[in-house]
Amino acid sequence: MAAASDVKVLGMWACPYVNRVQLALCITSIEYEFIEENTLQKSDMLLKHNPVLKKIPVLIHGHKSVCESCIIVEYIADAFDTGPRILPSDAYDRALARFWAAYIDDKWYPLVKVLRQSDNEEERKLLVQKLSEGLILLEEAFIGCSKGMAYFGGDSIGYLDIILGSCLAWLRVTEKVVGVELMDPTKAPQLAKWAERLCSDNRVKAVFPNFDRLMELHELIQAYLKSSK
């Protein structure tokens, strides 16, 4: 096991991209030091270790810095030979997991934030439709990747479980704000069961942010956005 002093994570408690790094470290039993960042006032440490993108999360392992959440999760899987395997052992299964991770980050999850912050009824309806269609696609992906087992990664939490799972806390907040059940068990029953199963895992509970705290943060963000108009 790596010593906590050897591994540091620069992040913010409510950031889903940071949460996925924390979960990957937790699953692989890697101790680490978490350094909270103020995203409105970037620290010298952040600028030093991520001078190109200047954003969180950043994993610091010894004297090495790794940036971008999906890349960090893959690095954790490759660099530490502890805990269950995060990445699929089969080359095609790994490629498939990376494809769906890119879909989540590039196509699906960005719409969650837009929906949460939108106050236009027509725009909301369109976004809800697109997100629902995306969840049906992810339901099909889950059925194919899990091969009848509990998680995308098989019988234990793996790469794609971490990537999509990190979006669930903010998805719940968005459902509350908009008043729509996006993770609809009638449309995506296997995915809904997966989400419930994942969120009941003690390691996930230890990492993912509290719903009430996220709601409070959302309200603060909305107030800030309105005042800055």
Whether 106 is in a domain gets the answer yes
Whether 198 is in a domain gets the answer yes
Give the three-class secondary structure for 80.
coil
213 contact partners, CB below 8 Å, separation of at least 6: 14
Global confidence as pTM: 0.95
Give the three-class secondary structure for 60.
strand
What local confidence, expressed as pLDDT, does residue 40 receive?
86
What's the burial of 47, exposed, middle or buried (CB within 10 Å: 0-12/13-18/19+)? exposed
**Percentage of the chain modeled with pLDDT above 70:** 97
Residue 117 has pLDDT above 70, yes or no: yes
What local confidence, expressed as pLDDT, does residue 81 receive?
80
Residue 71 has pLDDT above 50, yes or no: yes
Strands 7-11 and 33-36, by their bridges, are parallel
Claim to verify: residue 193 and residue 112 sit in the same structural domain: yes
Q: 189 or 85: which carries more pLDDT confidence?
A: 189
* Overall residue count recorded for the chain in this entry: 229
Indicate which CATH number applies to the domain containing 63: 3.40.30.10
Query: Which residues are registered as beta bridge partners of 64?
Result: 61
Q: How far is CA 224 from CA 25, 111, 121, 146, 173, in A?
A: 33, 20, 21, 42, 18
What's at 108, amino acid-wise? W
Claim to verify: residue 95 and residue 33 sit in the same structural domain: no
Residue 118 has pLDDT above 80, yes or no: yes
Residue 69 has pLDDT above 90, yes or no: yes
Indicate which CATH number applies to the domain containing 165: 1.20.1050.10
Q: What is the pLDDT of residues 176-226, one digit of tens each?
A: 999 999 999 999 999 999 999 999 999 999 999 999 999 999 999 989 888
Q: What is the pLDDT of residues 27-66, one digit of tens each?
A: 999 999 999 999 889 999 999 999 999 999 999 999 999 9
Structural domain harbouring 164? 91-220
